[in-house]
């Protein structure tokens, strides 16, 4: 093969690598009611029988979860990334600060589509909303609950989930409050403290990103979290 041919092959290989690296499954835009009569705008990825709801932090939105959604879809999950009320087209209902109502609506909407079990991952503001939602849902509605640097809630003792995982950075400002919430939450539960000081979804932009992703996938699959 001459030099021009070799150059062309190399360029095609590089292009294929970029396409694969950036491949994200297409999302379907969906709207459904929150538990208090509002409207939740969300992106639905995949067609798996198991589901995961992704609840963003205050500085993020539903689109921020696309890379993780891609990993989850590859493992056979239906993934529902929501915009909280006040973001995108989402609007609140009867409960003024009812972020938890958006999470409950998302879990129940997936159930209505035949997706079960359904787990929830929430970061920061979304972690607090997910934890609060878990205090209000019935036994069996929520499978695994992952709280990524969650803002504290009043009664973590009342969380109702099959199992709970807390993840945070060891040196982040919220770490003492997260440890307190973890100590009060019901079993079975586990906590992982990562190196660094990044908060919630910001951890995905640090060298701890790969480990955080692995922890999430291990916990959801029922494998021991390392």
Average pLDDT of the chain is 91
At 23 the pLDDT is 58
Segment 148-167, tens digit of pLDDT = 999 999 999 999 999 999 99
Q: What is the mean pLDDT of residues 166-183?
A: 98
pLDDT of 118 higher than 70: yes
Note the residue count of the chain.
226
Q: pLDDT tens digit string along 48-61?
A: 999 999 999 999 99
CA dihedral 90, 119, 160, 198 (to 10 degrees): -80
- The dihedral through the CA atoms of 101, 107, 108, 109 has a sign that is positive
Q: pLDDT digit string (tens) for 129-152?
A: 999 999 999 999 999 999 999 999
The order of strands in the sheet holding 163-169 is 28-33, 39-45, 77-83, 50-55, 118-123, 144-148, 163-169, 189-194
Q: Cα(61)–Cα(140) distance, rounded to whole angstroms?
A: 28
pLDDT of residue 9: 38
pLDDT tens for each residue of 71-84: 999 999 999 999 99
226 pLDDT higher than 70: yes
Angle (nearest 5°) at CA 182 between 195 and 36: 115
Max CA pair span of the chain: 70
Mean pLDDT across 198-218? 98
Q: What is the mean pLDDT of residues 212-221?
A: 98
Main-chain dihedrals φ then ψ at residue 97, nearest 5 degrees: -110, 45
Q: How far apart are CA 216 and CA 225, in angstroms?
A: 8
Sign (positive or negative) of CA dihedral 79, 139, 38, 85: negative
Determine what percent of the chain is predicted with pLDDT higher than 70.
89
> How confident is the model at residue 195, as a pLDDT?
98
Calpha distance 215→195 (Å, rounded): 14
Q: Residue 80 has which token pair? A: 């529902």
| C-alpha to C-alpha distance for 191 and 195, rounded to whole angstroms | 13
Q: What digits encode the pLDDT tens for the residues 21-70?
A: 345 678 999 999 999 999 999 999 999 999 999 999 999 999 999 999 99
């Amino acid at each position: 093969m001459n030099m021009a041919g070799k150059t062309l092959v190399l360029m095609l290989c590089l292009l294929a690598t970029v396409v694969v690296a950036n491949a994200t499954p297409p999302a379907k835009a969906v709207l459904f009611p929150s538990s208090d009569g509002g409207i939740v705008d969300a992106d639905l990825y995949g067609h798996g029988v198991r589901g995961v709801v992704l609840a963003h932090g205050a500085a993020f939105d539903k689109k921020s979860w696309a890379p993780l959604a891609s990993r989850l879809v590859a493992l056979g999950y239906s993934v529902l990334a929501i915009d909280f009320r006040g973001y995108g087209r989402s609007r609140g209902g009867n409960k003024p600060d009812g972020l938890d109502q958006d999470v409950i609506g998302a879990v129940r909407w997936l159930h209505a589509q035949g997706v079960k079990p359904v787990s929830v991952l929430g970061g920061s503001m979304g972690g607090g909303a997910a934890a609060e939602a878990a205090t209000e849902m019935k036994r069996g509605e929520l499978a695994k609950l992952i709280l990524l640097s969650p803002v504290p809630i009043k009664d973590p003792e009342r969380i109702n989930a099959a199992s709970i995982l807390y993840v945070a950075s060891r040196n982040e400002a919220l770490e003492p409050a997260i440890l307190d919430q973890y100590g009060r939450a019901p079993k079975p539960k586990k906590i992982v403290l990562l190196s660094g000081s990044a908060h919630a979804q910001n951890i995905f932009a640090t060298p701890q990103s790969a480990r955080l992703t692995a922890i999430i996938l291990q916990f959801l699959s029922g494998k021991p979290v390392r």
